[in-house]
Amino acid sequence: MVSGFFMILNKQDAQFASQIFIDYYKNFGRIDDYLRKVKLERMEDIPTPLFGYGPEDEMFQDFTMHPEDMQFVCREVSNDMYDNYLEIVTSHAIEKSVPGKSLKWVVYEVNTNKIVGFIRFGSPTINSKPRNDFLGRPLQTTNMEVMKRFNDSTIMGFIIVPTQPFGFNYLGGKLLAGICCSHLARRTLSEKYNTDFCMFETTSLYGSTKQVSQYDGMKPFLRYAGLTLSDFVPAINDEKYHDLRKWFEDRNKGPLVDEDASSRKLKTQTKMISIIRNSLEGKDLETFKTALVDAKGLTEKKRTFISTYGYDNVADYLNLETDTLTKRPNYDRFELEEIVTWWKKLAGKRFSKLKSENRLRTELEVWNKNPDIDIIR
């Protein structure tokens, strides 16, 4: 039974729990410091593969190939393979169990049969200021008809990660984002969930730390919609989180949030913080509040981007002002072949420029071989 709403810790327990948060966050100055710490801790749990048998050997490494000679295919693989391969590529921690809709793609270059990137679609977050601005009003979460239309029609890109240096050399992030905006993605998702998707959204990895994104310059496929609000404390690392969650659950005689809740780790940590805050007094409370303010400085407003797959009246459709979607004149440009052709022109210019300047990167960047990867590329 979830009863954490009314849980109050005694003074000694509240001081103990608050100190875990205080000690953890005082070690970071910027968001990349935090991400690197979390990433390196997770990499310690990954076993070292035999030479020639690691996931890195499946990554694209032919950096003499011109984009015009490339072809791509999206494949669904087992969850274990997807997570293990992605872990050595991405800078972020991976959520392996995610409730709601989900489609995981590994993108291969056909001629080499090597991996160039990873995509994961999922159910969108409910609260989004940029989406509210796009719709012209906040999402009516208490209206069941509105929420059914929203859940049946919208999808979010949670992972759009190219292997490196494919991403650097060939604008690989734009290729993957373009795939997400394609009719191939829309049709695949619609068939899987027996519905009709009409809107895709995603957020940039960084906001204030880096003012550019791999999603910039992608009109008409993907358009900037605004900045998210940022007012949350980043998650503590897995080991400390699991130990502290068990500590709270032992005292609460049950979980703090429902076991099937979305974003369960974030909601559980938020509940922990609320309990600690309500249990502390005086100087202890002020010290804890200061630590939380500093921790929130590690999070950022993220840039939100939206695609309507070439439909014209998506906002009206999601607001239940119409039951019929209309196509824009450029609707067919969202076919995957058209998007890849668009990408090849950009990637070709990028590849040729880097090659002429002797700036092509040729060394595979994976976390199990190089812990000094530049997180903010």
What are the beta bridge partners of residue 109? 72, 114
Q: What is the pLDDT of residue 131?
A: 95
Mean pLDDT (whole number) for 92-115: 85
How large a percentage of the chain has pLDDT more than 90? 63
Q: What is the pLDDT of residue 342?
A: 98
Q: What is the pLDDT of residue 298?
A: 63
Handedness of CA 364, 366, 370, 371 (dihedral sign): positive
- Is it the case that residue 162 has pLDDT exceeding 80? yes
* CA distances in angstroms from 96 to 69, 88, 184, listed in the order given: 34, 14, 25
Mean pLDDT (whole number) for 97-121: 92
What value does the mean pLDDT of the chain take?
87
Res. 377 pLDDT band, cuts 50 70 90: very low
Per-residue pLDDT tens digits for 342-374: 999 999 999 999 999 999 999 998 865 555 655
Task: Tell how far CA 327 is from the center of its chain.
Answer: 29
Q: Are strands 199-203 and 223-227 parallel, antiparallel or unpaired?
A: unpaired
Q: What is the pLDDT of residue 266?
A: 79
In the chain, count of helices (H) and strands (E)? 13, 7
* Strands of the sheet with 303-307, listed across from one edge: 72-75, 102-109, 114-122, 154-162, 199-203, 303-307, 223-227
Per-residue pLDDT tens digits for 190-233: 999 999 999 999 998 765 555 678 999 999 999 999 988 766 67
Mean pLDDT (whole number) for 259-278: 84
Residues 6 or more apart from 257 whose CB is under 8 A from it? 2, 4, 264, 267, 268, 271
Q: What is the pLDDT of residue 333?
A: 98
Q: What is the pLDDT of residue 191?
A: 98
Among the listed residues 303, 285, 240, the one whose alpha carbon sits nearest the alpha carbon of residue 93? 240
How large a percentage of the chain has pLDDT more than 70? 81
- Look up residue 168 and give its two tokens: 């650097």
Domain borders along the chain are 4-31+233-296, 46-230+300-356
Give one DSSP letter per residue of 211-255, joined into a string. S--TTTT-TTTSEEEEEPP---PPPPPHHHHHHHHHHHHHHHTS-
Q: What is the pLDDT of residue 257?
A: 86
Which 8-state DSSP code applies to residue 365? B
- Look up residue 99 and give its two tokens: 């409730």
pTM higher than the cut 0.95 = no
Give one DSSP letter per residue of 16-85, joined into a string. HHHHHHHHHHTT-SSHHHHHHHHHHHHHTTSPPPPTT-SGGGGB---TT--GGG--EEEE---HHHHHHH
We find that the CATH architecture of domain 46-230+300-356 is 3-Layer(aba) Sandwich (3.40)
Q: With b meaning 16 or more CB within 10 Å and e meaning fewer, what string describes 81-99?
A: ebebbbbbbbbbbbeeebe
Q: What is the pLDDT of residue 376?
A: 46
Q: What is the pLDDT of residue 64?
A: 96
Res. 337 pLDDT band, cuts 50 70 90: very high
Q: What is the pLDDT of residue 3?
A: 46
Mean pLDDT (whole number) for 148-176: 96
- Is it the case that residue 335 has pLDDT exceeding 90? yes
Mean pLDDT (whole number) for 84-113: 84
Mean pLDDT (whole number) for 85-97: 75
Q: How many CA atoms lie within 13 A of 364 on its CB side?
A: 20
Q: 């993108």: which residue's tokens?
A: 107
Q: What is the pLDDT of residue 1?
A: 46
